[in-house]
Amino acid sequence: MTAGQITAIQPVQDAPDQAGVAPFGPKPRHVSPGRIGIYVFLVVAALFFLIPVYIMIVTSLKGMPEIRLGHLFSLPAEPTFQPWADAWLHACTGRDCNGLSPGFYNSLKITVPSVIISIICASINGYALTFWPYKGANLLFGLLVFGAFVPYQVVIYPLIIGLSSVGLFATLPGIIIVHTIFGMPILTLLFRNFYAALPVELFKAARVDGAGFWRIFFSIMLPMSVPITVVAVILQVTGIWNDFLFGIVFAGRSNWPMTVQLNNIVNTTTGVREYNVNMAATILTAAVPLIIYFVSGRWFVRGIAAGAVKG
Amino acid sequence: MQRSWRQRFHLPAVIGTIPMILVAVGVFVIGIGFSVLWSFTSSKLFPTYDFVGLAQYRRLWADSRWLVSVNNIWFFGLMSISCNMVFGYLLAVFMDQRIRQEDLFRSIFLYPFAMSLIVTGLVWQWVLDPNLGLQAAMRNLGWSSFSFAPLVDANTAIYALVVAGIWQGSGVTMAILLAGLRGVDEEIWKAARVDGIPTWRTHLSIVAPMMKGAFATAFVLQCVGVVRVYDLVIAMTGGGPGIATSMPAVYVIQLITVRQNVGQGMAAATMMLLPVLVVLGFSGLVLWRRNRRQGARV
């Protein structure tokens, strides 16, 4: 409620005096068949996107006897949170029945350091490429951009051999290194484009004042990089949390992230399939990126688009 | 003399970018080089260096599982990219009609993209499960002859993957294309209206060509996604029924881990790299020529 808003409202309050002369209130909307068609299309499309998740939520709150009745769309008659507790604590993968929680902590242990390290590396890369291009730096950058398009399958096996030769295959540092490697192309591109749009005078003035590579980076560039860092964090947290392939190959059994545990719980169960527990587990796995998505709003889209700008 | 050397290789800059040097050269040059090298050897579980020429490639192209995978990736790629583009464009156009609750619709269309492909795959596995999902629900409602179980039929399982791909990816296309639409000058619309051009015609002939950049961005994003589709297949079908939904990405990982046939796996990986190299080389050539022509004009 700022002063500006109040003055903006003022004319409307005065309007009844001259109601006969000037129209007031919002312009009445024309409800034409065309506009109805637009909304019908959008609502049907929205249903296509929403129904699967509606089914998941509803089913995860039902008991198994109720699920067997086959009323897929009906609300739970006796809502129960037992499947959610089971998914978190007791769901089985093979012989271990510890639920998803170990996977959650593993994902946390993988994601946090990977995000921090990859962003530090990429911001230095972008800064060096923009302001301190040494001979061959642009060739390196070209190779990196090429790496953004390479199918992962081409580099996975050499990485397995390389990491195991230094004893890091199937370890926590190993998977962190892998995420840093595969995050680097997009993030470097992101930071380079951001720094290239900054005025060069900023850099030159600092150079004249005698600041060096690291001094300029820490005192000038880093404080200015907040917006692009937010985009990078969103991109990396969702990307790494959602990763499955690297997790299953490089993390090792004791560090398997949540996505791998989820797939094991759901797709390798023998005997009775507990759909309610499985769906609760799925929602739990999706929760972290979904929260980030809904909190960050348009930044999320900006991150996706920024990653592909120079494609 | 020393000064110019220091200018060309400013030491802190080189030190700061050591990780980049290691990744660019170590992973994307040497790593890929080794992958290609091993594709010419008879490596099994561990890499060896007894070269067998093109034998692995010959065996690869005689393997029905690989042929099915290649067919599948083309089919899946063409179907999911074209559907995503059309559906995403339609959504963007409809979203651009000054509708109410735009933010709500945008959130709904885009949220699947925030989730893991594993989650997407599992969700659709259940929706299409004959004993649990849509088929069971419809039969329960009294339509007892209703039959809809694409995942258990080898001929239709790939369509189910396409549907899941659209569910996950069309929102992003919508968001990118909507940004492109909003970037088109309002005056163009007015001019077209004055000239009496029907709206759909303006969209197709005037506005769409102006959004080349947005289309290219969306297209590239989708292509990269399609080549890397692994999680979706694993979570939804596991490559089955039988080998009906196997894809190159799945095939390579299986050869490396389960079937322990690294030589042939690397041959398959090299085949995956080939189209990427061709496309990148071609677009690089186009860019280079355009730059040179612009340089000549200046």
Domain that holds residue A178: 102-260+287-308
| Residues B69-111: tens digit of each pLDDT | 999 999 999 999 999 999 999 999 988 888 888 888 988 998 9
ipTM of the complex in this document? 0.87
CATH number at residue A166: 1.10.3720.10
B239 pLDDT band, cuts 50/70/90, is confident
As a whole number of angstroms, the distance between CA B78 and CA B252 comes to 21
Residues of B with Cβ-Cβ distance to A163 under 8 angstroms: none
Considering the domain boundaries, does residue A46 fall inside one? no
Residues of B with Cβ-Cβ distance to A265 under 8 angstroms: none
Query: Average pLDDT of B262-272?
Result: 92
In the predicted model, is pLDDT for residue B195 greater than 70?
Answer: yes
Residues of B with Cβ-Cβ distance to A279 under 8 angstroms: 126
Contact (Cβ atoms closer than 8 angstroms) between residue A282 and residue B116: no
Quick check: A57 contacting B, CB < 8 Å? no
Instruction: Indicate yes or no: CB of B23 within 8 angstroms of CB of A212.
Output: no
Quick check: A35 contacting B, CB < 8 Å? yes
Residue with tokens 């077209």: B192
Instruction: Indicate yes or no: CB of B269 within 8 angstroms of CB of A311.
Output: no
**pLDDT score recorded for residue A19:** 42
Instruction: Indicate yes or no: CB of A156 within 8 angstroms of CB of B256.
Output: yes
In the predicted model, is pLDDT for residue B297 greater than 80?
Answer: no
A310 pLDDT band, cuts 50/70/90, is very low
Of A45, A289, A311, the CB nearest to B216: A311
CA atoms B27, B29, B32, B35: torsion sign: negative
Q: Could you say which residues from 76 to 115 on chain A have a Cβ atom under 8 Å away from some Cβ of chain B?
A: none
**pLDDT score recorded for residue B296:** 60
Residues of B with Cβ-Cβ distance to A71 under 8 angstroms: 137, 140
Q: How far is A44 from chain B (nearest CA, A)?
A: 11
As a whole number of angstroms, the distance between CA B131 and CA B237 comes to 16
Considering the domain boundaries, does residue A68 fall inside one? no
Quick check: A241 contacting B, CB < 8 Å? yes
Instruction: Indicate yes or no: CB of B20 within 8 angstroms of CB of A144.
Output: yes
Cα dist from A109 to A102, B86, B144, whole Å:
10, 40, 50
As a whole number of angstroms, the distance between CA A183 and CA A125 comes to 12
Instruction: Indicate yes or no: CB of B231 within 8 angstroms of CB of A262.
Output: no
**pLDDT score recorded for residue A93:** 75
- Number of domains observed in the structure of chain A: 1
Quick check: A286 contacting B, CB < 8 Å? yes
B interface test, pick of A75, A154, A259 with most B CB neighbours within 10 Å: A154
B131 pLDDT band, cuts 50/70/90, is confident
Residues of B with Cβ-Cβ distance to A241 under 8 angstroms: 116
In the predicted model, is pLDDT for residue A154 greater than 60?
Answer: yes
Cis peptide before A65 (omega within 30 of 0): no
A308 pLDDT band, cuts 50/70/90, is low
In the predicted model, is pLDDT for residue B200 greater than 50?
Answer: yes
Contact (Cβ atoms closer than 8 angstroms) between residue B189 and residue B157: no
As a whole number of angstroms, the distance between CA B77 and CA A263 comes to 24
**pLDDT score recorded for residue A7:** 37
| Residues A2-60: tens digit of each pLDDT | 333 333 333 444 444 444 455 565 555 567 777 888 889 999 999 999 999 998 999 89
Residues of A with Cβ-Cβ distance to B29 under 8 angstroms: 143
- Dihedrals phi, psi of B242, to nearest 5 degrees: 65, -120
As a whole number of angstroms, the distance between CA A311 and CA A97 comes to 45
Instruction: Indicate yes or no: CB of A135 within 8 angstroms of CB of B9.
Output: yes
In the predicted model, is pLDDT for residue A242 greater than 50?
Answer: yes
As a whole number of angstroms, the distance between CA A88 and CA A104 comes to 9
**pLDDT score recorded for residue B134:** 81
Mean pLDDT of chain A: 83
| Residues B52-70: tens digit of each pLDDT | 888 889 988 988 899 999 9
Burial class from Cβ neighbours inside 10 Å (0-12, 13-18, 19+) for residue A94 reads: exposed
**pLDDT score recorded for residue B30:** 94
- Dihedrals phi, psi of B54, to nearest 5 degrees: -95, 15
As a whole number of angstroms, the distance between CA B34 and CA B29 comes to 9
Q: What percent of chain A has pLDDT over 90?
A: 40
**pLDDT score recorded for residue A306:** 63
Of A67, A132, A181, the CB nearest to B23: A181
**pLDDT score recorded for residue A46:** 92
Side chain identity at A47, as an amino acid letter? L
Instruction: Indicate yes or no: CB of A213 within 8 angstroms of CB of B238.
Output: no
Bridge partners, B41 (sequence order) = B51
CB atoms within 10 A of CB B6: 9
In the predicted model, is pLDDT for residue B6 greater than 70?
Answer: no
CB pairs under 8 A between A and B: 264
A269 pLDDT band, cuts 50/70/90, is low
As a whole number of angstroms, the distance between CA B215 and CA B209 comes to 9
Contact (Cβ atoms closer than 8 angstroms) between residue A215 and residue A207: no
**Comparing B153 with A31, which gets the higher pLDDT?**
B153
Of A214, A286, A311, the CB nearest to B115: A286
Mean pLDDT of chain B: 86
Name the most confidently modeled range: A88-92, A106-110, B207-211. A106-110
**pLDDT score recorded for residue A126:** 93
As a whole number of angstroms, the distance between CA B116 and CA B106 comes to 19
CB atoms within 10 A of CB B264: 25
Query: Average pLDDT of B3-29?
Result: 81
Considering the domain boundaries, does residue A83 fall inside one? no
For chain B, give every domain's residue range: 64-286
Query: Average pLDDT of B223-249?
Result: 86
Quick check: A154 contacting B, CB < 8 Å? yes
**pLDDT score recorded for residue A188:** 92
**pLDDT score recorded for residue B81:** 94
SS3 per-residue string spanning chain A:
CCHHHHHHHHHHHHHHHHCCCCCCCCCCCCCCHHHHHHHHHHHHHHHHHHHHHHHHHHHHCCCHHHHHCCCCCCCCCCCCCHHHHHHHHCCCECCECCCCHHHHHHHHHHHHHHHHHHHHHHHHHHHHHHHCCCCCHHHHHHHHHHHHHCCHHHHHHHHHHHHHHCCCCCCHHHHHHHHHHHHHHHHHHHHHHHHHCCCHHHHHHHHHCCCCHHHHHHHHHHHHCHHHHHHHHHHHHHHHHHCCHHHHHHCCHHHCCHHHHHHHHHHCCCCCCCHHHHHHHHHHHHHHHHHHHHHHCHHHHHHHHHHHCCC
Contact (Cβ atoms closer than 8 angstroms) between residue A188 and residue A129: yes
Considering the domain boundaries, does residue A252 fall inside one? yes
Residue with tokens 């109601």: A19
B64-286 has which fold? MetI-like fold (1.10.3720)
The contacts of residue A213 (CB under 8 Å, 6+ apart) are A128, A132, B10, B12, B13, B16
| Residues A137-146: tens digit of each pLDDT | 889 999 998 8
As a whole number of angstroms, the distance between CA B85 and CA B173 comes to 7
- Dihedrals phi, psi of A96, to nearest 5 degrees: -85, 130
As a whole number of angstroms, the distance between CA B233 and CA A245 comes to 12
| Residues A190-201: tens digit of each pLDDT | 899 899 988 989
Query: Average pLDDT of A63-78?
Result: 81
Contact (Cβ atoms closer than 8 angstroms) between residue B231 and residue A246: no
Q: How far is B267 from chain A (nearest CA, A)?
A: 9
Bridge partners, B51 (sequence order) = B41
Closest CA to B275 of B224, B233, B205, B231: B224
